[in-house]
């Protein structure tokens, strides 16, 4: 086992590599990681620019910039401000929430198969939102956002409890199977509600597969504080996640307060995944795939993994949405379908490796 050199109580240990992973990321040294992080920021900016100009209504970059800087009430201005800016902002906000939530979940559980979509957190949040909309007639994001948080929290507790049963405790594959079972169960219940309530079907059919087209600017302003608080909590435990990766005994020896770390991390996941699901629906695989990409690039240190996820996850989600707009023109594939098509093979690869028992 790789030891930590930090003195007890500092929480500054560097996490060991996962079995089968390189000891260091592809980018070595602080300067290399920082330069790579700047490049990731440029990728995110390029993804947002593509999102503003791509669609059935063709726009040039000049038209988009003109609409942003000096709108004159034209059709292009209306398309940019009323359709594409909220859609892009939804992708960025949801991507940040899902990416950081996935990194925190993988760190807390030492489980490389963890993610809001895989462990049923997104499905639980989505089911709670559908119940709020259909049964309680809650139509505003300010109302069903709280249902989303509650659904995410209950799903996380249920999956962890179910995956911890039996010998071996909360093993990665057991948690993944528990998450799949919960997702199937609540997914069926969600479908049943929408079929029994025809008026709800049209409003839910795109949202329940993951879409960036429902939220408007006002709704995003409601969800943004929850994401911001979740980011702050995740940042507060980023050093402790490195010591948790060394094992519980080692983490305690280094002065890490496991109970408070897990509590803060769990609240961060609920806030981040719950807010993302409330505005974009149950989008899968982003929270699973992006932390692995970040880890491959920068190594196992969560002090670097989280900033990478902060930039890469929204870039991946926005680019997936752009891809969905162009694949079957003039129709569009919802972003949840695109991320599922891309992420499913990656998940199968992780399960088949069997060398990913712990992070």
Diameter of the chain by CA atoms? 66
Tokens representing 303 are 């002090």
110-127 pLDDT, tens digit per residue, is 888 888 988 889 889 989
- Which architecture characterizes domain 29-112+209-353 according to CATH? Orthogonal Bundle (1.10)
User: Sign of torsion, CA 230 146 122 358?
Assistant: positive
> Count of CB atoms within 10 A of residue 348's CB?
10
Helix (H) / strand (E) element for 129: namely helix 121-134
Cα 179 from Cα 173, distance rounded (Å): 10
Phi-psi bin for 42: left (phi > 0), alpha (psi -120 to 50), beta? alpha
CA distance 143 to 197: 20
3-state secondary structure 310-334: HHHHHHHHHHHHHHHHHCCCCCCCC
| Tens digits of residue pLDDT in 188-241 | 888 888 777 766 666 666 667 788 988 888 889 989 999 999 999 999 999 999
Q: Which residues contact 172 (CB under 8 A, 6 or more apart)?
A: 109, 111, 112, 113, 114, 356, 357
User: Angle at Cα 163 formed by Cα 117 and Cα 204, nearest 5°?
Assistant: 30
For residue 74, give the 3-state DSSP assignment. coil
Please, what sign has the CA dihedral across residues 141, 145, 146, 148?
positive
Inter-CA distances, 260 with 153, 242, 301, Å: 17, 15, 20
Rounded-to-integer distance, Cα 292 and Cα 54, Å: 28
Residues 81, 86, 91, 95, CA torsion sign: positive
Cα gap 312→200, rounded to integer Å: 34
- Side-chain-side CA neighbours of 171 within 13 Å: the count stands at 12
Of 4-13, 30-39, 65-74, 99-108, give the lowest mean pLDDT range. Answer: 4-13
Query: Cα(142)–Cα(296) distance, rounded to whole angstroms?
Result: 38
DSSP string, 198-220: HHHHHHHTTGGG--SSS--HHHH
Q: How many helices (H) and strands (E) does the chain have?
A: 15, 0
Q: d(Cα 59, Cα 75) in Å, to the nearest integer?
A: 11
CB neighbours (10 Å) of residue 330?
Answer: 7
d(CA 238, CA 59): 41
196 HSE (CA, 13 A, CB side): 10
**Mean of pLDDT values over 20-43:** 82
Residue 19 pLDDT level (bands cut at 50, 70, 90): very low
Structure confidence at residue 203 (pLDDT): 60
Task: Count the Cβ atoms, other than its own, within 10 Å of residue 92.
Answer: 22
Domain coordinates in residue numbering, the chain: 29-112+209-353
What's the whole-number mean pLDDT along residues 55-73? 89
Tell me the per-residue pLDDT of 286-344, one tens digit each, with 9 for 90 and over. 999 999 999 999 999 999 999 999 999 999 999 999 999 999 888 899 999 999 998 88
The two tokens of residue 277 are 């699901």
pLDDT given at position 170:
67
Q: What is the mean pLDDT of residues 4-25?
A: 47
């Amino acid at each position: 086992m790789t030891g930590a050199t930090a003195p007890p109580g500092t929480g500054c240990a560097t996490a060991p590599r996962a079995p089968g992973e390189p000891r260091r990321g592809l980018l070595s040294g602080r300067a290399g990681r920082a330069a790579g992080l700047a490049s990731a920021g440029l990728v995110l900016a390029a993804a947002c620019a593509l999102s503003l100009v791509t669609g059935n209504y063709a726009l040039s970059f000049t038209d988009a910039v003109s609409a942003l800087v000096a709108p004159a009430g034209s059709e292009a201005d209306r398309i940019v401000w009323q359709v594409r800016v909220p859609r892009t902002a939804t992708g960025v906000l949801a991507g940040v929430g899902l990416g950081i939530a996935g990194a925190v979940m993988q760190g807390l559980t030492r489980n490389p198969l963890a993610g809001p979509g895989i462990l049923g957190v997104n499905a639980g949040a989505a089911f709670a939102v559908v119940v709020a909309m259909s049964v309680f007639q809650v139509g505003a994001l300010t109302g069903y956002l709280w249902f989303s948080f509650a659904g995410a929290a209950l799903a996380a507790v249920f999956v962890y409890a179910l995956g911890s049963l039996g010998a071996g405790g909360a093993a990665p594959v057991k948690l993944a199977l528990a998450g799949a079972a919960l997702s199937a169960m609540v997914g069926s219940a969600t479908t049943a509600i929408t079929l029994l309530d025809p008026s709800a079907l049209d409003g839910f059919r795109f949202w329940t597969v993951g879409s960036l087209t429902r939220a408007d600017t006002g709704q995003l302003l409601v969800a943004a504080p929850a994401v911001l608080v979740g980011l702050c909590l995740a940042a507060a435990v980023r050093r402790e996640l490195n010591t948790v990766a060394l094992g519980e005994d080692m983490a305690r020896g280094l002065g890490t307060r496991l109970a408070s770390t897990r509590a803060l991390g769990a609240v961060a996941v609920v806030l981040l995944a719950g807010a993302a699901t409330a505005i974009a629906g149950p989008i899968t695989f982003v929270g699973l795939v992006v932390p692995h990409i970040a880890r491959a690039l920068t190594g196992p240190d969560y002090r670097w993994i989280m900033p990478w996820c902060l930039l890469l996850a929204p870039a991946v989600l926005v680019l997936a949405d752009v891809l969905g707009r162009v694949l079957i023109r003039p129709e569009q594939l919802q972003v949840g379908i695109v991320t599922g098509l891309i992420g499913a093979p990656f998940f199968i690869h992780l399960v088949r490796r069997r060398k990913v028992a712990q992070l």
